[in-house]
Amino acid sequence: MIDEYAFDDAAEDKSALYDVPRITAILQAVAKEGRWISYSEMLMSLGFRFTRPKMRVLCKTLDTVDAEAQARGEPELAVLVVRESDGLPGQGWWVCRTDYVGQWVGAEAKAFVSKLQADVFAYWQAR
Protein backbone atom coordinates (compact mmCIF):
# COMPACT_ATOMS: atom_id res chain seq x y z
CA MET A 1 0.00 0.00 0.00
CA ILE A 2 1.28 3.47 -0.86
CA ASP A 3 1.39 5.78 2.13
CA GLU A 4 0.31 9.06 0.58
CA TYR A 5 1.02 10.94 3.82
CA ALA A 6 4.58 9.68 4.23
CA PHE A 7 7.41 12.13 4.02
CA ASP A 8 9.68 11.61 1.07
CA ASP A 9 13.30 10.60 0.95
CA ALA A 10 15.28 13.73 1.79
CA ALA A 11 17.88 12.80 -0.83
CA GLU A 12 15.33 12.83 -3.65
CA ASP A 13 15.68 15.69 -6.15
CA LYS A 14 12.42 17.62 -5.93
CA SER A 15 13.49 20.53 -8.15
CA ALA A 16 10.92 19.62 -10.82
CA LEU A 17 8.17 20.53 -8.34
CA TYR A 18 9.45 24.13 -8.38
CA ASP A 19 10.09 24.31 -12.14
CA VAL A 20 7.59 26.98 -13.16
CA PRO A 21 8.49 26.98 -16.89
CA ARG A 22 8.22 23.18 -17.10
CA ILE A 23 4.91 23.04 -15.25
CA THR A 24 3.59 25.93 -17.34
CA ALA A 25 4.54 24.12 -20.55
CA ILE A 26 2.81 20.92 -19.39
CA LEU A 27 -0.36 22.82 -18.58
CA GLN A 28 -0.31 24.75 -21.85
CA ALA A 29 -0.02 21.44 -23.73
CA VAL A 30 -2.92 19.99 -21.72
CA ALA A 31 -4.98 23.12 -22.48
CA LYS A 32 -4.27 22.75 -26.21
CA GLU A 33 -5.59 19.18 -25.95
CA GLY A 34 -8.75 20.55 -24.33
CA ARG A 35 -8.54 18.49 -21.17
CA TRP A 36 -7.76 18.73 -17.49
CA ILE A 37 -5.05 16.83 -15.61
CA SER A 38 -5.30 15.19 -12.20
CA TYR A 39 -2.90 15.96 -9.39
CA SER A 40 -1.57 12.40 -9.68
CA GLU A 41 -1.04 12.66 -13.43
CA MET A 42 0.69 16.03 -13.03
CA LEU A 43 3.06 14.63 -10.42
CA MET A 44 3.73 11.57 -12.61
CA SER A 45 4.56 13.83 -15.55
CA LEU A 46 7.18 15.46 -13.31
CA GLY A 47 8.58 12.05 -12.35
CA PHE A 48 6.95 11.58 -8.94
CA ARG A 49 4.39 9.31 -7.39
CA PHE A 50 1.53 11.01 -5.58
CA THR A 51 2.15 12.03 -2.00
CA ARG A 52 0.44 14.78 -0.03
CA PRO A 53 3.71 16.64 0.67
CA LYS A 54 4.56 16.75 -3.04
CA MET A 55 1.04 17.80 -3.93
CA ARG A 56 1.29 20.72 -1.48
CA VAL A 57 4.57 21.87 -3.08
CA LEU A 58 3.00 21.55 -6.53
CA CYS A 59 0.05 23.69 -5.42
CA LYS A 60 2.35 26.48 -4.27
CA THR A 61 4.14 26.35 -7.62
CA LEU A 62 0.77 26.50 -9.39
CA ASP A 63 0.13 29.81 -7.61
CA THR A 64 3.30 31.15 -9.23
CA VAL A 65 2.30 29.71 -12.62
CA ASP A 66 -1.00 31.59 -12.40
CA ALA A 67 0.59 34.83 -11.20
CA GLU A 68 2.99 34.78 -14.15
CA ALA A 69 0.18 33.95 -16.60
CA GLN A 70 -1.88 36.83 -15.25
CA ALA A 71 1.10 39.19 -15.65
CA ARG A 72 1.29 38.15 -19.32
CA GLY A 73 -2.44 38.67 -19.82
CA GLU A 74 -3.10 34.92 -20.15
CA PRO A 75 -5.80 32.87 -18.42
CA GLU A 76 -4.90 30.96 -15.27
CA LEU A 77 -3.74 27.39 -15.77
CA ALA A 78 -4.05 25.90 -12.28
CA VAL A 79 -7.78 25.39 -12.87
CA LEU A 80 -6.76 22.50 -15.11
CA VAL A 81 -5.25 20.54 -12.20
CA VAL A 82 -8.06 18.68 -10.46
CA ARG A 83 -8.94 15.78 -8.21
CA GLU A 84 -9.67 12.54 -10.03
CA SER A 85 -12.66 11.90 -7.78
CA ASP A 86 -14.79 14.86 -8.89
CA GLY A 87 -12.83 16.83 -11.51
CA LEU A 88 -12.53 19.88 -9.26
CA PRO A 89 -9.47 21.72 -7.95
CA GLY A 90 -8.56 21.21 -4.32
CA GLN A 91 -9.24 23.47 -1.36
CA GLY A 92 -6.07 25.52 -1.81
CA TRP A 93 -7.23 26.70 -5.22
CA TRP A 94 -10.57 27.89 -3.84
CA VAL A 95 -9.50 29.71 -0.66
CA CYS A 96 -7.90 32.72 -2.34
CA ARG A 97 -10.57 33.24 -4.98
CA THR A 98 -12.46 36.51 -4.94
CA ASP A 99 -14.56 35.75 -8.02
CA TYR A 100 -16.58 32.87 -6.55
CA VAL A 101 -18.79 32.52 -3.50
CA GLY A 102 -20.29 29.15 -2.82
CA GLN A 103 -19.54 25.54 -2.03
CA TRP A 104 -16.28 24.12 -3.38
CA VAL A 105 -18.03 20.92 -4.46
CA GLY A 106 -21.18 20.15 -6.37
CA ALA A 107 -22.87 21.38 -9.53
CA GLU A 108 -22.31 25.11 -8.94
CA ALA A 109 -18.59 24.63 -8.35
CA LYS A 110 -18.33 22.32 -11.36
CA ALA A 111 -20.07 24.90 -13.59
CA PHE A 112 -17.70 27.65 -12.41
CA VAL A 113 -14.61 25.50 -13.01
CA SER A 114 -15.91 24.28 -16.38
CA LYS A 115 -16.35 27.88 -17.55
CA LEU A 116 -12.81 28.81 -16.53
CA GLN A 117 -11.44 25.65 -18.15
CA ALA A 118 -13.33 26.39 -21.38
CA ASP A 119 -11.73 29.86 -21.44
CA VAL A 120 -8.28 28.31 -20.98
CA PHE A 121 -8.90 25.74 -23.72
CA ALA A 122 -10.12 28.39 -26.16
CA TYR A 123 -7.15 30.65 -25.46
CA TRP A 124 -4.48 27.96 -25.91
CA GLN A 125 -6.16 26.16 -28.82
CA ALA A 126 -6.13 29.45 -30.73
CA ARG A 127 -2.31 29.60 -30.45
Burial environment of residue 19 by CB neighbours within 10 A (0 to 12, 13 to 18, 19 or more): middle
The per-residue pLDDT for 8 is 56
- Mean per-residue pLDDT pooled into runs of 10, the chain (127 residues): 52 92 98 98 97 95 97 98 97 93 96 98 97
